[in-house]
Amino acid sequence: MKTVFRIIALTGLTLSMSSCFNSKKPNYQYMPNMYESTAYETYSESDAFKRGGVEAQTPVPGTIKRGYVPYEYPNTTAGLEAARAGLQSPLDTASIDLDRGGQLFGIYCAICHGEKGDGKGKLVKQEKFLGVPSYKDRAVTTGSVFHVETYGLNSMGSYANQLNQEERWQVAHYVMKLKGEL
Amino acid sequence: MDIVFLCRFFKRNATFHSVFAWMAFVRILSITVYNMKKLGNHYSILKTLFFSLALLLSASVSMGQAAPAAPAPEAAAAAPAEAKGDPAAGKALFNSNCAACHKLDSKSTGPALRGVAGKHDMSWIYKWVHNSSEMIKSGDAAAVKLFEENNHSVMTAFPQLSETDINNIIAYTSEPKAEPVTPPGAGPPGTAAADSGISNNVILGALIVVLFILVIMLVMVNRVLNRVAEKNGLEIVTKEPGTPIWKAFAKNQFLVLVSTIVLMLAGGYYVYGYLMQVGVDQNYEPVQPIHYSHRIHAGSNGIDCKYCHSAARVGKNAGIPSLNVCMNCHKNISEVSDTTATADHTKAFYDGEIQKLYNAVGWDKATQKYTGKTQPVNWVRIHNLPDFVYFNHSQHVTVAGIECQTCHGPVQTYEVMKQFAPLTMGWCVNCHRKTEVKMEGNAYYDKIHSELAKKYGVDKLTEAQMGGLECGKCHY
């Protein structure tokens, strides 16, 4: 009987050694006050803010960020038509960078619109996102592409959050290049 | 010493762990063999023991193989084709032209289209599809009503669709809704989830039970043999009590010295290991408020990391996407496809997580509108560098062109996100020593690159040779 107890004790010890590691909890730190910033950091909580101390706040109404150019066309069908007809790209031929536009297109657009802009992206092929048109079938202009990138259209969301204005123009030029090749 | 720390250390030092387990196993084996010897007929019992163990193992293997073979669900019976149009051709047309804004059974940008043939007559539908804005302008009562009901969104005109095409689409939308297919013999929902864990847990449980029975049997066999020996008048040899082992050990001074040194070395190793893992959060895998699966998004859907973490291109911080980025797709995708569900997580579970997103962002699925009632999502931060070190994502992602997976691991396979790398200084420095700098196509730095290459006498510079080991580069 003594040996049985010994066996049980040994297995029990091994099990308890290996089972209590908890990956759901962070580890201990040496001197945490050297790890944690006194000032609030990105995505931290801070008493400086109301609403539960969320650090990620929206900008104060009426403020713009550096380098922002006001965009006058409204987010309506009329605005889209006006942009389609009249909005011109501020980029000259020297500053149009189709390589960069292509990279950005690959990250943000190709997943639905397809690498070639034919509306056959990976999500469409998997039937998760349907009805993405080919650029060939739509009367898009550089201006209307920029407008749709900025505001979104129907099921497509706005990309103003992920791409700044200059990047959106680069992508718009790349889209027009793809349309020309289709 | 806190047992938890010890455990972490054991987890991190798999070799030591296994050595420990091996030692325990050998000890158990030797004890068993010793007991057998006392009984005199150890061979037969050992044989039985190994035989039953082999039997058990083979049984468990066959069980494990049998478990995943589930009967394939029968395909839903195809609905009878409409006399007027071809639903198969209609489906293709619907998916390429209409599905961006219309779903069959739920409202999207436009209304649900199943059974639309019963709501309007065909000539009205032809006119509407070919140019709906014209109809609204001309004041057609039904057209204006539709326009009002759907947030004044204008339907793209489709003059390229012929009347036959529209007939085909209408035939597709007139098909009855396919019943959800349940595999034959499946129990009520809930039992399926319990079944999935069967292979591992049941086998382990069975193993433990069988081992326990074996131990009891051993004890009983021992008793029976003792009794048999008693009846036959055989004398059982009992061991005479000698010097206790610990006394003998204490007397042997050399052994005491050696074991003290071994113990101190082993102890030092453990103490060092324990101290070195404090503050390291490798494999930290917290439960997040919304179960977001990188496996589905980055793996099976193949969405680029930078689609959501767009700030990694241009900023210090990689960025946790704000919920409007989620809504770029989830405005349209309110439930996962049937193929997404796994044994661990059902479709209902994933749909519930999408609903959590809708609640947080204030999206009403039924009316396809934002309600304005939002609540922040309290994500748990996983990767967190100490305040005294500077790290910039854009420098690594855009300038150096390093793949996200280099530091974050195969995230596209993670169902639950965890920290892959230790994020210690040694880990950073090792990579800086090994990584060669991409020097081509960077005319601005050509001169300094060639000068440095000449100084170190190498063709390719590593990050360390560029000054990537200087303290002040990261600590200031």
CATH code: domain of residue A117: 1.10.760.10
Which one has a higher pLDDT value, B441 or A60? A60
Residue A15 pLDDT level (bands cut at 50, 70, 90): low
Q: Which residues of A touch B31 (CB under 8 A)?
A: 3, 6-7
Question: ipTM for the complex?
Answer: 0.84
Average pLDDT, chain A: 82
Amino acid at A120: K
Q: What is the pLDDT of residue B64?
A: 41
- A37, A162, A167, best to mutate vs chain B, most B CBs in 10 Å: A162
Q: What is the predicted pLDDT for the residue at B178?
A: 67
Residue A22 belongs to a domain: no
The average pLDDT across A69-85 equals 84
- The CA–CA distances, whole Å, from B449 to B320, B354, B458, B465, B473 equal 35, 50, 11, 10, 18
Is A114 a member of any domain? yes
- Tell me the count of A-B CB pairs closer than 8 A: 163
In this prediction, residues A52-71 reach a mean pLDDT of 83
Structure tokens at A181: 């090749």
Quote the pTM value: 0.66
Query: Considering CB atoms only, which of B100, B279, B317 is closest to A154?
Result: B100
pLDDT of residue B190: 41
> B347: exposed, middle or buried (C-beta count within 10 Å: 0-12, 13-18, 19+)?
middle
All residues of chain B having their beta carbon less than 8 Å from the beta carbon of residue A10 are 24, 27-28
Residue-wise pLDDT tens digits, A92-115: 888 888 888 898 999 998 888 888
Does A44 map to a domain?
A: no
Give the DSSP H/E element, type plus range, for residue B363.
strand B363-364
Please give chain B's pLDDT, 476 residues, in tens: 444 444 454 444 444 444 444 555 545 544 444 444 433 344 444 455 555 555 555 544 444 444 333 333 333 333 444 457 777 778 777 777 787 778 777 777 777 787 777 777 887 888 788 877 777 777 777 777 777 777 777 787 777 778 888 888 888 888 777 655 544 444 444 444 444 557 888 999 999 999 999 999 999 999 999 888 888 887 777 777 777 888 888 888 899 999 999 999 999 999 999 988 888 888 888 999 999 999 989 988 889 999 999 989 998 888 888 888 998 888 888 888 877 888 888 888 888 889 889 999 888 888 888 888 888 888 888 888 888 899 999 989 988 888 999 999 999 999 999 999 988 899 999 999 988 887 777 778 888 888 888 888 888 888 888 888 889 988 97
* Phi and psi at residue B311, to the nearest 5°: -70, -15
A58 touches chain B (CB under 8 A): no
* pLDDT tens-digit map of A21-46: 678 888 888 888 878 878 888 888 88
Buried b (16+ CB within 10 A) or exposed e, B223-237: eebeeeeeeeeeeee
Is the CB of residue A114 less than 8 Å from the CB of residue A124?
yes
Report the number of distinct structural domains present in chain A. Answer: 1
Q: CB distance from A51 to chain B under 8 Å?
A: yes
Alpha-carbon distance of B140 to B128, in angstroms, equals 10
* Integer Cα distance of B350 and B362 in angstroms: 18
Both structure tokens of A78: 């009329």
DSSP state of B295: I
The answer as to whether A4 is a domain residue is: no
A92 in reach of chain B (CB within 8 A):
no
Residues 286-345 of B with CB under 8 A from A: 286-287, 300-304, 306-307, 310, 316-317, 320, 322, 324-325, 327-329, 331-333, 337
A130 inside domain: yes
pLDDT at B410: 92
Q: How far apart are CA B170 and CA B103, in angstroms?
A: 13
pLDDT score of B221: 95
pLDDT recorded at residue B77? 38
Domain span at residue A97 reads 77-181
CA gap B326, B308 in Å, rounded? 8
Pick from B213, B236, B258: nearest CA to B56: B213
pLDDT recorded at residue B44: 47
Tokens representing B112?
A: 């649900």
Whether A23 and B332 lie within 8 Å, measured CB to CB: no
Rounded to the nearest angstrom, the minimum Cα separation between A162 and chain B is 6
Q: Does A42 touch chain B (CB under 8 A)?
A: yes
**Residue in B8, B100, B283 closest to A132 by CB:** B100
- Which residues of A fall within a CB distance of 8 Å from B11? 18, 21
CB nearest A111 (choices: B102, B219, B307): B307
Contacts of B154 (CB under 8 A, 6+ apart): A77, B132, B133, B147
Q: Is residue A12 part of a domain?
A: no
Q: Does the residue A68 lie in any domain?
A: no
Tell me whether residue A52 is in a domain.
no
